[in-house]
Amino acid sequence: MTNQEQHIVAVIGAGPAGLFAARQLALSGVFVVIINRDLKPGGLVEYGFYPDKIKMKAGLRKQFSQIVELPQLEYFGNVSVGDEGDITLENLNRSGFQAILTATGAQGTKWLELPGETDYKGVYHAKDLVYHYNKLPPYSKHEFHIGKKVAVIGVGNVMMDIARWLAREKKVDEIFAIARRGPAEIKFDKKRMEYLIANLDQEALDDELGRVAPVMVAIGQDPEASREYILSSLPKAVEAVSNTKLRFYFLASPTKILGDDNGNVNGIEIANTTLIPIDDDTRAKTLWTRRTLNVDTVIYCIGDKVDEKYGLPVQWNEFVKNPNPQYPVDGISYEAYNPESGLPIQGIFIAGWSREVSSGLVGIARKDGERSAKAILKYLENVKPAANYMDIFAKFKSRLNRLEKPIVTKQHLPLLVKAELAEAQKHNLEDFKFDSNLEMLKIMNLI
């Protein structure tokens, strides 16, 4: 291989999966072009993590900056790929990149499609709120009508983050956490409860555990163990800052959103469920009995799906992967696949939450990105390095320059980092973020 010959790969998405994949590829001699919708790199670390995770964010931000600064790598922020984006995947695929990694996370919104869901004001998806309180433009400026009695659907860590924001920032009166299965199937990490346990209505919890105990016991579950799990954070309880009451409703599946004549949510109908054991797990079976909870806001915390307008086939909320991968890593397929033709989509790979939606912590996304890089490197073993990779890059860059919008590059990002640090110091804050693209672009001298 001469100096001029190099593989050139596009990585779409600069969350942990895309960035750590890019790092691995660049360190293996590939020329990497990262294309990111957001101005800043980081994905959900920047715009998903609860805002007070300052230390963890700082450590990750440092690693992300180091990746973006790698000489083998270029970064283009404020560019979205997709059928309705700045550039289509098809177009990108014709730009000469020898492989493309899709690491765009799970940007679609999963709804339950219940009657009333789209009819009334006050039904939201957690992702939009998380982006809002983490100051991601344009969500940062969206208005959300958060009332006093809020139903949160799902009992994972995202629900805990949302409930924490409702109790500690919005200071709502009541939070109704609705789980279609039982206390033994809660998905949240008990540590997350530390910020909420002071707001937990323990009497209501005991009543609810008593109510669902017969169903649990019938299938060999231990209600007391679940109680201990939920209450285990009591010794580390963070002091409450509101009178919010958090109540759990188990074995409850939402069936209808109710509203008033003014178009506002005023209730949620839930069906009782029971548990059917399947292998080592359970399934919720909906029963006929229904009840109504008076709430004025409903927030779905039930996970996400991928963006259906991105340009890759989607099934079951995820991009379709080649069921018989040519380049498996640890038995996992990272290869895009067209189920209609029954053929792999050559050269296009998928990683992170784009490969497996709403799945796992940042370390898992990192590992997934790194494994996808291994799959790409195996694929590239049979692809001749491009003698003209710099021409390919130059052409792509001039195509981006023809877009009528400012594009953020690795040369611009340090200006933003510096300005945000200065603002934090000036206002004596641990962290500061500009919440509009306009401000960020101005600071980077892009407008």
Ligand X SMILES: Cc1cc2nc3c(=O)[nH]c(=O)nc-3n(C[C@H](O)[C@H](O)[C@H](O)COP(=O)(O)OP(=O)(O)OC[C@H]3O[C@@H](n4cnc5c(N)ncnc54)[C@H](O)[C@@H]3O)c2cc1C
The binding site for ligand NAP (CB under 6 A) comprises 112, 153-159, 161, 179-181, 185, 187, 189, 192, 301-303, 358-361
Nearer to ligand NAP, 74 or 356 (CB): 356
Query: What are the distances in angstroms from CA 47 to CA 6, 130, 245, 269?
Result: 34, 7, 27, 32
79: nearest Cα among 90, 67, 89 = 89
| Minimum distance of ligand NAP from residue 17's CB (angstroms) | 13
In the structure encoding, which two tokens stand for residue 97, read together?
A: 């990149």
Instruction: For residue 65, give every residue at least 6 positions away whose Cβ sits within 8 Å of its Cβ, in sequence order, or none.
Output: 41, 413, 414, 417
* Contact of residue 14 among ligand X, ligand NAP, none (CB under 5-8 Å per partner type): ligand X
Task: Output the smallest distance, CB 385 to ligand X, in A.
Answer: 25
> At closest approach, how far in Å is the CB of 211 from ligand X?
30
Residue with tokens 């492989």: 99
Closest CB to ligand X among 151 and 312?
Answer: 312
Tokens of 328: 């498996």
- Contact partner, 221, from ligand X, ligand NAP, none, Cβ < 5-8 Å per class: none
| Residue whose CB is less far from ligand NAP, 185 or 318 | 185
**Which CB, 170 or 181, lies closer to ligand NAP?**
181
**In whole angstroms, how close is the CB of 331 to ligand NAP at the nearest point?**
20
Residue nearest to ligand NAP (CB): 156
Which phi and psi (to 5°) does residue 203 adopt?
Answer: -65, -45
Instruction: Name the one residue in this structure whose structure tokens are 């996992």.
Output: 332
Smaller CB separation from ligand X, 44 or 230: 44
Binds 77: which of ligand X, ligand NAP, none (CB < 5-8 Å by kind): none
The size of the chain, in residues, is 447
Nearer to ligand X, 88 or 264 (CB): 88
In the complex, what is the shortest distance from the CB of residue 65 to ligand X, in angstroms, rounded to a whole number? 14
Beta strands in 213-301 (DSSP E): 245-249, 252-259, 265-278, 281-293, 297-300
Minimum Å distance from CB 412 to ligand NAP? 30
Whole-angstrom CA distances from 272 to 149, 180, 182, 383 are 20, 8, 11, 56
The residue type found at 78 is: N
Which of the listed partners (ligand X, ligand NAP, none) does 267 bind, with a CB threshold of 5 to 8 Å by partner kind?
A: none
Which of ligand X, ligand NAP, none has residue 195 at its interface (CB below 5 to 8 Å by kind)? none
End-to-end Cα distance, the chain: 41
36: amino acid identity, one letter: N
User: Which residue, 77 or 154, has its beta carbon nearer to ligand NAP?
Assistant: 154
What is the smallest separation between the CB atom of 152 and ligand NAP, expressed in angstroms?
10
Q: Which does 82 bind (CB under 5 to 8 A by kind): ligand X, ligand NAP, none?
A: ligand X
Residues that bind ligand X (CB under 6 A): 12-18, 35-38, 43-45, 48-49, 53, 80-82, 85, 103-105, 107, 130, 158, 161, 307, 310, 352-353, 360-362, 365
Joined together, the tokens standing for residue 277 give 């054991």
The residue behind tokens 């860059």 is: 397
CB atoms inside a 10 Å sphere around CB 225: 11
Coil, strand or helix: which one is 195? helix
Instruction: Give the shortest CB-288-to-ligand X separation in angstroms.
Output: 34
Asked if the bond preceding 328 is cis, omega within 30° of 0, the reply is no
